[in-house]
Amino acid sequence: MDEHAPRGVDIPHPDQKWRLEAHARPWSLSGGFSFALASEGRYSSAMAFVAMASRLGMCASLLASVGLPACDDGRDSGDQYDEGSTNDRECEDTVMVLASLAEVSAGGVAGQELVDAASNLGTRILTWTDTDAVGDGFVVVTNATPGPVDLTLGAVYDGGEIRYVASERAPGDGSEEPAIYIECPDRLEVDVTLGFSTSDGLFAEQFQTRLVHRFYEQGDPAGSGPRVYVDDRLDMDTLAGDLEVAEMQPDAPETLVHTFSASFPLGPDSMSPPKGSVGSQGTWSYPNGIESAAFFTMASW
């Protein structure tokens, strides 16, 4: 066995054995986590689990430590940077295009409400991670100065499509049970332009994305009331701002994806302010078949 490969616990499954590897590193908004997954069965399913678990830092690490199956955060194949996720295969979508922002969807929410939630946010504070204080693990070093800067963030609707997506579990053949719980909530989506800039000039972005609100049966799993989400990839080569990656520690991954995520309270029932992060997800492979992934948070607000 590769001496550098992580160690973890085996999770029983009817037709394959998952192995979730949680590195001993605490999860925090300014830090990161890493894990690995090996499968004696379908490779594509293993990588789908990696894609899903990369956004479940504390949950995946905690459950791995006690040998329990990981939980799902309810996000679906509509996530911009989550193409090929488990939900692609587990959920079936029916899309209904709405005529205007004012039209109330089947979920009782209009597109205008999503736009209102993600616009006119004023100035907020983004905090760049101090990479020297993070400790061991995957670290992406940039030209940012650690600490707070002013953040301007907001969505503008400029005629993009508005969709209500009815989602349900895909029918199976009854031959197997899923390794993880999958929820397929209906959702409302609005295509918008998102502005995202910082006072230090490292971000000065305008990019096309979509606002997403999910209609969970038991309420938003984050426990903070109804939210509007944005999840997207960032192409460091095409940024309008001056952010640059200087190095990656301890070694560069085989694949690297930079991500942008944000969530906004929807209506008076939400119990937390707008928040989000910019991060980097790296993946490695080992001779013993282990696929390892790690996530680092560059900045959060």
Q: For 201, list phi and psi in degrees, rounded to 5.
A: 80, 0
Residue 66 lies in a domain: yes
β pairing state of 275-285 and 147-156: unpaired
**What pLDDT is attached to residue 88?**
52
Tell me if 15 is assigned to some domain: yes
pTM of the complete model: 0.71
Q: How many CA atoms lie within 13 A of 36 on its CB side?
A: 19
Q: How far apart are CA 91 and CA 236, in angstroms?
A: 32
pLDDT tens for the chain, 301 residues: list them: 444 433 333 333 333 333 333 333 333 333 343 444 433 332 333 333 333 443 333 333 333 333 333 333 333 333 444 433 335 568 999 999 999 999 999 999 999 999 999 998 989 999 999 999 887 889 999 999 999 999 999 999 999 999 999 999 888 655 566 556 678 999 999 999 999 999 999 999 999 999 999 999 877 777 778 999 999 999 999 999 999 999 999 889 999 999 999 999 998 766 788 999 999 999 999 888 888 999 999 999 9
> What is the C-alpha to C-alpha distance for residues 21 and 292, in angstroms, rounded to an integer?
8
What pLDDT does 9 receive? 35
The residue range of the domain holding 178 is 9-300
Q: How far is CA 20 from the centre of its chain?
A: 19
* Domain-located, residue 3: no
Tell me which residue of 227, 280, 238 sits closest to 118, measured CA to CA: 227
Number of domains in the chain: 1
Q: Is residue 230 part of a domain?
A: yes
Determine the length of the chain. Answer: 301
Is residue 2 a part of any domain in this protein?
no
pLDDT at site 218: 79
CA-to-CA distance for 134 and 153, rounded, in angstroms?
A: 26
Integer Cα distance of 169 and 104 in angstroms = 24
Tell me if 44 is assigned to some domain.
Answer: yes
Specify if 92 maps to a domain.
Answer: yes
Measured CA to CA, the distance from residue 257 to residue 280 in angstroms comes to 6
In a domain, 108, yes or no: yes
